[in-house]
Amino acid sequence: MRIKVGVIFGGESVEHEVSIISAIQAMNKMDEEKYEVVPIYITKDREWYTGDMLKDIEVYQDFSLIKKYSDNVVLYYKNGSYVLQKKRGLTRRVVKEIDIAFPIVHGTNVEDGALQGYLQSIGIPYVGPNVYAAAAGQDKTIMKDIWSGANLPMPKYVWFYDTDYRKNESEVMEKIKKLKYPLIVKPATTGSSVGISFCEKESSLKEGIDDALQYDSKIIVEEAVENLKEVNIAVMGNYENQKLSEIEEVLSTNKFLTYTDKYIGSGKSKGAKKVPMKGTSKGMASTNRKLPADLEPKLRKEVEEIAKKAFKALGSSGNARIDFLIDDKAKKVYINEINSIPGSLAFYLWDEINLNFTEVLDEMIQIAIKDYKKRVSKTHSFETNILKGFAARGGVKGMKGVKGKLK
C-alpha cells in the first residue's frame, strides 16, 4: 500500500509563487510506486484546496480555475485518520486522507514555524524542521544569535524593531555606526532576497531601511563581505546525523544575489551552469552557478564543517541549504543564513553526488518518519487531572463571581 503524502505549498507569503514552483517540481519527481501524492495548495487568502489539477503549473495562471474545479478543504484529525474534508456544500464529505504532510513552503506565515505548529498540534507526521528550528531558521536575528553562541564565523551585525527606529532614529543609527560600510540591510524574517539593499553610505542606508520596513517589523544590518564569493551547500539529516551535498558557487552581476538572480535569471553570466528540469518551471534551478564551486581544499573543508555545526545548532531536520560568504582575498569564510526548506529543495546540489531528486524526496520522507517516532516516544502529558482538585476547592464557584463582574 502506498504512503499518502500531502504536499502543502503556497500560503500568505511574498514567496508564494516560488513555493508553487518548488512543490510542482517535487510532486513530479516523487516515486509513484511508493507514494500517492496529494497536492494541498494554500491561497494567498489562506484557503486550502486539493485536486490533481494542482500538479500542473499552467493552472496557476488563472486562480479562478482552482476555486472552481478543485476542492476547498480543511485538514484535521478524524476517527484515527488525517483527512481533507470539504468546507462547503450540503455534504461536507472527506475528499482525501493523508499519512504524512510534506510542506514545500517558503517565507513568512508558512516556513517560519506557523504551519509546522498546526501540523504538530493535530499530530500528523511532517517532513522538515520542527516548530523551533523552522522559526529560528526564518528569523535571521535568532538564527545569528544561536550561531554566535556556537562560535560560528559571521559578519558583524546589529538589529532593531521598526518601533525603535521610528521613535529614536538617531539612537539606532548610532548602533549602526559601529559597523563598517558597505552594509547590507535585510528584513529579518523574509527570504528569497526580498527587501534587501546594498548600502555604501548613510543616505542609501536610510533608503534601504525604509524599503525593508515594508516587509518586516524587525530589521538586520550587517557588514558586507569584501572580495565576495557566494557558495551554498545542502545538508540532509537531523541533529543526530548530517549528510552533505556538493558545494556550488552562485554567480551574480549584482552586489548580492537578488530575487531575479534566484528565480528569473538572465542566463548571461559567464561560466554559468544551468540545471535542466523538464516539464516544470526551473525555479532556483535557473540560477547561474559554478558546480562544483571553485574552492581550494582548506576552504571546502571549512564550509563543510561549519555547515554541519550550523544545522545541528538550530536542531534542523530534512534537507536545508546553507549559504556562505567568502572573502576570496583574505580566504575567510562566513556563514550567512540557512534555508530550512530551500527553493527547488536544492535537488541540483544532491544530483552532483549521484543522489537524484526522487531519492532526495524519499530520504526526506524517511527522516520525517524517524523524527515522528522519536517525538511520540517522549512524554508530553500526564494522566493526573488537576481540574478535579480545582473543583473540590470551590474553583468553579469562584469563577461564577468572575463571570458576574465580566457581564
Encode pLDDT of 298-335 as tens digits: 999 999 999 999 999 999 999 999 999 999 999 999 99
Region 374-381 average pLDDT? 85
- CATH 3.30.1490.20 spans which residues of the chain? 156-223
DSSP state of 156: -
Report the residue count for the chain.
407
Region 214-242 average pLDDT? 96
- 35 vs 234: CA distance, rounded Å: 24
Region 177-202 average pLDDT? 89
Region 161-175 average pLDDT? 96
Architecture, CATH, for domain 3-127: 3-Layer(aba) Sandwich (3.40)
Q: Is the pLDDT of residue 68 over 70?
A: yes
Q: Is the pLDDT of residue 266 over 50?
A: no
Res 286: pLDDT: 55
Strand stretches in 193-331, DSSP E: 197-199, 218-223, 228-237, 242-250, 289-290, 318-327
Res 88: pLDDT: 81
Res 275: pLDDT: 40
Nine-digit cell at 360? 532526495
Provide the whole-model pTM.
0.86
Region 345-365 average pLDDT? 98
Cα-flanking dihedrals φ and ψ of residue 292, to 5°? -75, 160
- 341 vs 153: CA distance, rounded Å: 23
- CATH 3.40.50.20 spans which residues of the chain? 3-127
Share of the chain above pLDDT 90, in %: 76
Mean pLDDT of the chain: 89
Q: Is the pLDDT of residue 399 over 70?
A: no
Superfamily of domain 156-223: ATP-grasp fold, A domain (3.30.1490.20)
Confidence of residue 252 (pLDDT cuts 50, 70, 90): confident
- CATH 3.30.470.20 spans which residues of the chain? 137-141+146-151+226-355
User: According to DSSP H, which parts of 33-102 are helical?
Assistant: 63-69
User: According to DSSP H, which parts of 177-215 are helical?
Assistant: 202-212
Neighbour order of strands in the sheet with 81-86: 94-98, 81-86, 71-78, 48-50, 35-42, 3-10, 100-103
- 83 vs 86: CA distance, rounded Å: 10
Q: Is the pLDDT of residue 401 over 70?
A: no
Measured between alpha carbons, how far is residue 153 from residues 148, 334, 350 in Å? 8, 5, 25
Q: Give the 3-state secondary structure of residue 84.
A: strand
Region 27-40 average pLDDT? 98
Determine which of 68-82, 238-252, 308-322, 393-407 has the lowest per-residue pLDDT on average: 393-407
Residue type, 196: I
Region 288-302 average pLDDT? 96
Res 203: pLDDT: 86
Domain boundaries 137-141+146-151+226-355, corresponding CATH code = 3.30.470.20
- 125 vs 100: CA distance, rounded Å: 5
Region 74-86 average pLDDT? 96
Q: Is the pLDDT of residue 372 over 50?
A: yes
